[in-house]
Amino acid sequence: MQIGISSPAFCNDEFEMRLESIAKHFKLWEILADLEQLLPDIRESFEALAPSFDLKFAVHAPFNDLNIASFNPKIRKISLDTIKESMTVAHELGIRIFSFHPGHYCPTGLYYPEKVFELSKKGVWELEKFAKNLDLEVSLENMPIPKWTLCTNKDELMEYIEGTDLKICFDIGHAHINNQIFEFMKVIDLFGNVHIHDNNGKRDQHRIIGTETVPLKDFLKDLIEGYNDNIIIEANTLEEGVESYEVLKKMINDIE
Protein backbone atom coordinates (compact mmCIF):
# COMPACT_ATOMS: atom_id res chain seq x y z
CA MET A 1 0.00 0.00 0.00
CA GLN A 2 1.40 3.38 -1.04
CA ILE A 3 0.16 6.65 0.51
CA GLY A 4 0.28 9.67 -1.77
CA ILE A 5 -1.12 13.16 -2.14
CA SER A 6 -3.23 15.16 -4.55
CA SER A 7 -4.77 18.62 -4.44
CA PRO A 8 -6.56 21.07 -6.73
CA ALA A 9 -4.32 23.67 -5.08
CA PHE A 10 -1.33 22.24 -6.96
CA CYS A 11 -2.86 22.74 -10.40
CA ASN A 12 -1.79 26.34 -10.89
CA ASP A 13 1.84 25.76 -9.88
CA GLU A 14 4.82 25.16 -12.10
CA PHE A 15 5.49 21.45 -12.40
CA GLU A 16 9.14 21.67 -11.31
CA MET A 17 8.34 23.60 -8.13
CA ARG A 18 5.50 21.32 -7.13
CA LEU A 19 7.51 18.19 -7.94
CA GLU A 20 10.32 19.22 -5.62
CA SER A 21 8.04 20.17 -2.74
CA ILE A 22 5.97 16.98 -2.88
CA ALA A 23 9.02 14.72 -3.14
CA LYS A 24 10.26 16.03 0.21
CA HIS A 25 7.30 14.44 1.99
CA PHE A 26 5.70 11.75 -0.21
CA LYS A 27 6.63 8.86 -2.47
CA LEU A 28 3.48 9.14 -4.61
CA TRP A 29 1.79 12.06 -6.34
CA GLU A 30 -1.58 11.77 -8.05
CA ILE A 31 -1.35 14.58 -10.57
CA LEU A 32 -4.62 16.41 -11.07
CA ALA A 33 -4.02 17.01 -14.75
CA ASP A 34 -5.61 20.44 -15.07
CA LEU A 35 -4.68 24.12 -15.44
CA GLU A 36 -0.86 24.31 -15.33
CA GLN A 37 -0.62 20.54 -14.82
CA LEU A 38 -2.27 19.43 -18.06
CA LEU A 39 -0.23 16.40 -19.07
CA PRO A 40 0.49 17.46 -22.67
CA ASP A 41 1.80 20.80 -21.33
CA ILE A 42 4.08 19.32 -18.65
CA ARG A 43 5.23 16.34 -20.67
CA GLU A 44 8.66 17.76 -21.53
CA SER A 45 9.33 18.81 -17.93
CA PHE A 46 8.10 15.47 -16.62
CA GLU A 47 10.40 13.48 -18.90
CA ALA A 48 13.37 15.67 -17.98
CA LEU A 49 12.84 15.97 -14.22
CA ALA A 50 10.74 13.10 -12.84
CA PRO A 51 13.45 10.42 -13.16
CA SER A 52 15.62 12.40 -10.73
CA PHE A 53 13.10 12.03 -7.91
CA ASP A 54 12.11 9.00 -5.84
CA LEU A 55 8.46 9.56 -6.64
CA LYS A 56 5.76 7.45 -8.26
CA PHE A 57 2.81 8.91 -10.12
CA ALA A 58 -0.88 8.42 -10.77
CA VAL A 59 -3.20 10.71 -12.73
CA HIS A 60 -6.58 12.22 -12.07
CA ALA A 61 -8.29 13.34 -15.28
CA PRO A 62 -8.95 17.02 -15.93
CA PHE A 63 -12.48 18.20 -15.17
CA ASN A 64 -12.58 22.02 -15.21
CA ASP A 65 -15.26 23.15 -17.70
CA LEU A 66 -15.66 19.57 -18.95
CA ASN A 67 -18.78 17.41 -18.92
CA ILE A 68 -19.02 14.06 -20.69
CA ALA A 69 -22.81 14.22 -20.14
CA SER A 70 -23.26 17.66 -21.67
CA PHE A 71 -26.37 18.14 -23.81
CA ASN A 72 -24.18 20.15 -26.20
CA PRO A 73 -22.47 17.57 -28.46
CA LYS A 74 -19.51 19.90 -29.08
CA ILE A 75 -18.83 20.24 -25.35
CA ARG A 76 -19.30 16.52 -24.91
CA LYS A 77 -16.75 15.76 -27.64
CA ILE A 78 -14.22 18.26 -26.28
CA SER A 79 -14.63 16.75 -22.82
CA LEU A 80 -14.03 13.20 -24.04
CA ASP A 81 -11.14 14.21 -26.27
CA THR A 82 -9.45 16.14 -23.46
CA ILE A 83 -9.62 13.17 -21.10
CA LYS A 84 -8.44 10.80 -23.85
CA GLU A 85 -5.48 13.08 -24.50
CA SER A 86 -4.51 12.85 -20.83
CA MET A 87 -4.89 9.06 -20.96
CA THR A 88 -2.62 8.87 -23.98
CA VAL A 89 0.10 11.01 -22.43
CA ALA A 90 -0.15 9.15 -19.11
CA HIS A 91 0.43 5.90 -20.99
CA GLU A 92 3.38 7.38 -22.88
CA LEU A 93 4.91 8.63 -19.61
CA GLY A 94 4.61 5.17 -18.06
CA ILE A 95 1.84 6.11 -15.60
CA ARG A 96 -0.76 3.34 -15.32
CA ILE A 97 -3.20 4.42 -12.57
CA PHE A 98 -5.80 6.81 -13.95
CA SER A 99 -9.04 8.01 -12.29
CA PHE A 100 -11.83 10.13 -13.71
CA HIS A 101 -15.25 11.60 -12.96
CA PRO A 102 -18.57 10.66 -14.54
CA GLY A 103 -20.60 13.41 -16.20
CA HIS A 104 -22.76 15.85 -14.29
CA TYR A 105 -26.03 17.71 -14.68
CA CYS A 106 -26.34 20.86 -16.72
CA PRO A 107 -29.22 23.15 -15.59
CA THR A 108 -31.64 21.76 -18.19
CA GLY A 109 -30.50 18.27 -17.33
CA LEU A 110 -32.44 18.44 -14.06
CA TYR A 111 -35.59 18.05 -16.17
CA TYR A 112 -34.20 15.07 -18.08
CA PRO A 113 -32.22 12.94 -15.59
CA GLU A 114 -32.53 9.78 -17.68
CA LYS A 115 -30.86 11.49 -20.63
CA VAL A 116 -28.03 12.78 -18.41
CA PHE A 117 -27.51 9.29 -17.02
CA GLU A 118 -27.38 7.68 -20.45
CA LEU A 119 -25.02 10.27 -21.93
CA SER A 120 -22.72 9.98 -18.96
CA LYS A 121 -22.74 6.18 -19.05
CA LYS A 122 -22.05 6.20 -22.78
CA GLY A 123 -19.10 8.55 -22.20
CA VAL A 124 -17.72 6.45 -19.35
CA TRP A 125 -17.86 3.32 -21.49
CA GLU A 126 -16.15 5.11 -24.37
CA LEU A 127 -13.34 6.20 -22.05
CA GLU A 128 -13.02 2.71 -20.57
CA LYS A 129 -12.64 1.20 -24.04
CA PHE A 130 -10.07 3.83 -25.01
CA ALA A 131 -8.08 3.23 -21.80
CA LYS A 132 -8.12 -0.53 -22.30
CA ASN A 133 -6.26 -0.11 -25.59
CA LEU A 134 -3.59 1.81 -23.66
CA ASP A 135 -3.36 -0.79 -20.89
CA LEU A 136 -4.27 1.80 -18.24
CA GLU A 137 -5.80 0.82 -14.91
CA VAL A 138 -8.81 3.13 -14.84
CA SER A 139 -11.20 3.89 -11.99
CA LEU A 140 -14.47 5.81 -11.91
CA GLU A 141 -14.90 8.10 -8.90
CA ASN A 142 -17.99 8.31 -6.71
CA MET A 143 -19.20 11.89 -6.46
CA PRO A 144 -20.45 14.14 -3.64
CA ILE A 145 -23.56 16.15 -4.50
CA PRO A 146 -26.90 14.55 -5.51
CA LYS A 147 -28.93 16.43 -8.16
CA TRP A 148 -25.76 17.93 -9.63
CA THR A 149 -23.33 15.04 -9.82
CA LEU A 150 -23.76 11.40 -10.78
CA CYS A 151 -22.55 8.19 -9.14
CA THR A 152 -23.17 9.53 -5.64
CA ASN A 153 -24.21 6.09 -4.40
CA LYS A 154 -22.89 2.57 -4.82
CA ASP A 155 -25.82 1.18 -6.81
CA GLU A 156 -25.66 3.89 -9.48
CA LEU A 157 -21.90 3.61 -9.84
CA MET A 158 -22.21 -0.15 -10.17
CA GLU A 159 -24.57 0.38 -13.13
CA TYR A 160 -21.75 2.23 -14.87
CA ILE A 161 -19.00 -0.31 -14.32
CA GLU A 162 -20.99 -3.51 -14.80
CA GLY A 163 -19.72 -5.38 -17.84
CA THR A 164 -16.50 -3.33 -18.02
CA ASP A 165 -12.97 -3.56 -16.64
CA LEU A 166 -13.48 -0.33 -14.71
CA LYS A 167 -12.55 -0.16 -11.04
CA ILE A 168 -13.91 2.22 -8.42
CA CYS A 169 -12.01 5.28 -7.28
CA PHE A 170 -13.48 5.27 -3.78
CA ASP A 171 -13.61 8.80 -2.39
CA ILE A 172 -14.28 8.52 1.34
CA GLY A 173 -15.23 12.17 1.78
CA HIS A 174 -17.74 12.02 -1.06
CA ALA A 175 -19.23 8.81 0.32
CA HIS A 176 -19.53 10.38 3.78
CA ILE A 177 -21.65 13.24 2.42
CA ASN A 178 -24.08 10.67 1.01
CA ASN A 179 -23.98 8.19 3.94
CA GLN A 180 -22.52 5.64 1.56
CA ILE A 181 -19.20 4.68 3.13
CA PHE A 182 -20.25 1.28 4.38
CA GLU A 183 -22.24 0.58 1.21
CA PHE A 184 -19.11 1.09 -0.88
CA MET A 185 -17.06 -1.01 1.50
CA LYS A 186 -19.22 -3.97 0.46
CA VAL A 187 -17.53 -3.84 -2.96
CA ILE A 188 -13.97 -3.23 -1.76
CA ASP A 189 -12.73 -5.88 -4.18
CA LEU A 190 -13.55 -3.44 -6.99
CA PHE A 191 -11.49 -0.55 -5.59
CA GLY A 192 -8.71 0.56 -7.91
CA ASN A 193 -7.88 3.80 -6.10
CA VAL A 194 -8.84 5.44 -2.80
CA HIS A 195 -9.11 9.13 -1.89
CA ILE A 196 -8.99 10.02 1.80
CA HIS A 197 -9.84 13.37 3.41
CA ASP A 198 -12.27 14.72 6.01
CA ASN A 199 -15.42 16.84 5.96
CA ASN A 200 -18.46 17.75 8.04
CA GLY A 201 -20.81 15.43 6.14
CA LYS A 202 -22.35 18.34 4.22
CA ARG A 203 -19.64 19.83 2.00
CA ASP A 204 -16.61 18.49 0.14
CA GLN A 205 -14.04 20.30 2.28
CA HIS A 206 -10.82 18.24 1.89
CA ARG A 207 -10.00 18.86 5.54
CA ILE A 208 -7.20 17.27 7.58
CA ILE A 209 -7.97 13.68 8.59
CA GLY A 210 -9.48 13.55 12.05
CA THR A 211 -10.67 17.16 12.21
CA GLU A 212 -14.25 16.58 11.01
CA THR A 213 -16.76 13.71 11.03
CA VAL A 214 -15.61 11.06 8.54
CA PRO A 215 -15.57 7.84 10.64
CA LEU A 216 -12.23 6.64 9.27
CA LYS A 217 -11.29 4.60 12.34
CA ASP A 218 -14.51 2.58 12.00
CA PHE A 219 -13.51 0.98 8.70
CA LEU A 220 -9.76 1.58 8.28
CA LYS A 221 -8.93 -1.95 9.45
CA ASP A 222 -11.22 -3.46 6.81
CA LEU A 223 -9.77 -1.13 4.19
CA ILE A 224 -6.15 -2.05 4.78
CA GLU A 225 -6.99 -5.75 5.00
CA GLY A 226 -9.06 -5.79 1.81
CA TYR A 227 -7.22 -3.26 -0.35
CA ASN A 228 -3.52 -3.02 -1.16
CA ASP A 229 -3.11 -0.27 -3.75
CA ASN A 230 -2.79 3.53 -3.71
CA ILE A 231 -4.31 5.64 -0.96
CA ILE A 232 -4.35 9.29 -1.98
CA ILE A 233 -4.69 12.03 0.62
CA GLU A 234 -6.63 14.93 -0.86
CA ALA A 235 -5.71 18.19 0.84
CA ASN A 236 -6.14 21.93 0.49
CA THR A 237 -2.40 22.57 0.95
CA LEU A 238 0.75 20.48 1.02
CA GLU A 239 1.18 21.29 4.71
CA GLU A 240 -2.30 19.98 5.53
CA GLY A 241 -1.59 16.92 3.42
CA VAL A 242 1.50 16.20 5.51
CA GLU A 243 -0.57 16.55 8.69
CA SER A 244 -3.12 14.10 7.31
CA TYR A 245 -0.32 11.71 6.40
CA GLU A 246 0.99 11.68 9.96
CA VAL A 247 -2.50 11.06 11.35
CA LEU A 248 -3.17 8.28 8.85
CA LYS A 249 0.15 6.54 9.49
CA LYS A 250 -0.51 6.58 13.25
CA MET A 251 -3.97 5.08 12.69
CA ILE A 252 -2.51 2.33 10.53
CA ASN A 253 0.30 1.62 13.02
CA ASP A 254 -2.21 1.38 15.86
CA ILE A 255 -4.16 -1.23 13.89
CA GLU A 256 -1.09 -3.23 12.93
Q: How far apart are CA 53 and CA 70, in angstroms?
A: 39
Write the pLDDT tens digit of every residue in 164-204. 999 999 999 999 999 999 999 999 999 999 999 999 999 99
Write the pLDDT tens digit of every residue in 27-49. 999 999 999 999 999 999 999 99
Q: How many domains does the chain have?
A: 1
Helices (H), the chain: 15-23, 39-49, 73-92, 113-133, 154-161, 172-177, 181-185, 216-226, 238-255
- Range(s) of the domain holding residue 81: 3-255
Tell me what pLDDT residue 18 has. 96
For residues 81 and 67, is the Cβ–Cβ distance under 8 A?
A: no
pTM metric for this prediction:
0.97
Q: How far apart are CA 235 and CA 231, in angstroms?
A: 13
Beta-carbon contacts of residue 55 (< 8 Å; ≥ 6 apart): 19, 22, 23, 26, 27, 28, 29
Tell me what pLDDT residue 106 has. 93
For residue 147, what pLDDT band results from cuts at 50, 70 and 90? confident
Q: How far apart are CA 163 and CA 238, in angstroms?
A: 38
The domain that holds 85 is classified in CATH as 3.20.20.150
Tell me what pLDDT residue 195 has. 98
